[in-house]
Amino acid sequence: MFKMNATKAKNEFGLMLEHARKEPVSIERNGRGVAVVISFEEYSRLQELENKYWVDKATKAVAKAFKVDKKSAELLSELLNGSED
């Protein structure tokens, strides 16, 4: 992971973005990590992993006949069938 202090990240924003396209960039202030900048592609990959995790949890809950109210059941069904607003 590439590291930059907050002042350098601010002053060399373009450089930070170029590094973030290749690998995560750790932004530090006073020697402590305060943020991580990642590429849009990496962010999308992480979002997809999180979505798959929650769909899997919902699928298992439904499979175990987890009792949910009608509105929650409809939401679970939409999520499991890939419906989006």
3-state secondary structure of 83: coil
pLDDT at 65: 63
pLDDT at 12: 97
pLDDT at 23: 97
Q: For 10-64, write each residue's pLDDT tens digit.
A: 999 999 999 999 999 999 999 999 999 999 999 999 999 999 999 888 888 777 7
- pTM recorded for the entire structure: 0.66
Its sign, for the CA torsion 68, 69, 70, 74, is negative
Q: Does residue 78 contact residue 58 with C-beta atoms inside 8 Å?
A: no
pLDDT at 85: 52
